[in-house]
Amino acid sequence: MEIKVGDIDEDKYSRLRLYEWFDLNKVLRARILVVGAGALGNEVCKNLVLNGYKNITIVDMDRVVKSNLNRCIFFNDEDAERKRYKAEVIAEKLKMFDKKLNINYYTEEIEKLDIITKHDIVLGCVDNVKARLHINAHCYHNKIPYIDGATHGQVGKVQVVLPPHTSCLECGMNVTHSKILQLRFSCTGKDTKFFEPKIAADVNTTSIIAAIQVQEALKLTHGMSNYIKNIFYYDGARNFADVFELPINPNCPNHEKE
């Protein structure tokens, strides 16, 4: 076969193919669910598409507001003025990257949808404990990999939950988390019983955590064993990053029958 100079630059995924382990067909077939379409969700969706993922479902019940615009690549002033749904906007604008994408979106709470089992990997980009535990429990029960991301100012973490091999989110839950869950803290404005003060946020931390999430998704898609088996922790203020151990909690309801 004749290869012409410059041919490699005509292949959209040529630089990814330089990795010996990268298999575009595996990426193209993978069905990815992204829960949360805020700052993390924006970055995660962008990275997924740029890495070749085509089958993506986005879930978020929130609408775009002005304060989203400094850390959400897909939102603009018009979206905020029209109060458009975040999931709808991202689904629409991802088409700018690739018109052949198979994108679905839902503007409801993940707890009200029966879609988790229709996907191969779930990436969590949510900001409340209730949604996290719902995703975690359903993924673990159905043996679906779950990659949870979270940020708090310049601090962020990524946890990969791969049933039945790793600990899960509930393994690390404490009394404080339980109290917050009972208070139903939410930033959605719907059925809010507890107000959580806003905290500082920046796109730099968000970008780092989202990049780690998608990097781990690629590892799982390819069946690699070097995924994060505990919790990746990042602190931008202290220039610090490490992986902390989170052993399986035998009293965790997701593990007690194992």
pLDDT, tens digit, 9 for 90 and up, residues 207-224: 999 999 999 999 999 999
pLDDT, tens digit, 9 for 90 and up, residues 14-53: 999 999 999 999 999 999 999 999 999 999 999 999 999 9
Check: CATH 2.60.40.10 for 19-244? no
Q: What is the pLDDT of residue 188?
A: 40
Residue 3 has pLDDT above 70, yes or no: no
CA distances to 71, 190, 215, 255 from 124, in Å: 17, 20, 14, 20
Q: How confident is the model at residue 154 (pLDDT cuts 50, 70, 90)?
A: very high
C-alpha 215/C-alpha 154 separation (Å) is 20
C-alpha 248/C-alpha 232 separation (Å) is 16
In the numeric block, which tokens belong to residue 167?
């600990």
pLDDT, tens digit, 9 for 90 and up, residues 81-133: 999 999 999 999 999 988 899 999 999 999 999 999 999 999 999 988 889 99
Q: Domain extents for the chain?
A: 19-244
Q: What is the pLDDT of residue 26?
A: 98
What mean pLDDT is predicted for residues 186-190? 41
Q: Which of 72, 125, 168, 187 is catalytic?
A: 187
pTM of this structure: 0.89
Q: Is 171 a catalytic residue?
A: no
Nearest to 179 by CA among 189, 194, 159: 194
Residue 8 has pLDDT above 90, yes or no: no
HSE-up of residue 59 (Cα within 13 Å, Cβ side)? 23
CA distances to 35, 50, 103, 188, 189 from 218, in Å: 17, 12, 19, 31, 34
The CA-based angle 81-87-92, given to 5 degrees, is 80
Residue partners of 113: CB distance under 8 A and separation at least 6? 59, 106
